Structure 1
Amino acid sequence: MKPAGVHHVAICVADAQKGLAFYRDVLGMTQLPRPDLGPGYWLDAGGQQVHLMESATPPPGAAHFAIRVDDLEAAVADLQEQGVEVQRVPFIPGAGYQAFLHDPFGNVVELNQPE
């Protein structure tokens, strides 16, 4: 597997509107288009993305970072050959092709191949 860069970092916020006001208006990020995935926002932070997901009680795995890959199928195959359990998810228009795994400490890592 060869990472092409960090695609995004996803964080949970109790109030998406308040989060948007802080990250956009205070920190200067730019709001991006986002598919309907529930309450939240996608923001540009100088070429990388921050994804705000509204959740009063974040579900396990909600907070994560995503590694951009050019070939998701090849990356998944490489990881599986190394004994890493990787979970593919159905394609979501606007979100790219995705797969998820856990590092040895239980942290969630997303692999993302943009559309």
Structure 2
Amino acid sequence: MISRLHHVSLLVADTDRALDFYCGLLGLSVDEQRPELGFPGAWLQVGEQQIHLLELPNPDPLEGRPEHGGRDRHTAFFVSDFEALKSRLDTAGIPFTLSRSGRRALFCRDPDQNGIELIACN
């Protein structure tokens, strides 16, 4: 049966812009083993799991998404230094909302409006 998650795929309009967010801001690394798939994109490592960035047309609306990402589909990550990452988002001008559950977590969006949850792991 299912034993663990391998990857999540996210649609992006511009791979380089997405890499600035996921690698430059969030600190993920690129898996260089991505084969040529006939469209731009990248594979990113998140521990043993991956995010696959797919530069393909997005059938979802980018406007009118819920302000609070917890009320939209999203990908959640544990972060080792929550306050430092929160500060990096502030410095980069990335808006976020704090979790409404009272947990040390926040929700933001990547440049393509994909919902991201960042959860303190300590």
The TM-score range, normalised by the shorter chain, is: 0.3 to 0.5
TM-score, normalisation: structure 1:
0.47
Q: TM-score, normalised by structure 2?
A: 0.44
RCO higher in structure (CA 8 A, sep ≥6): 1
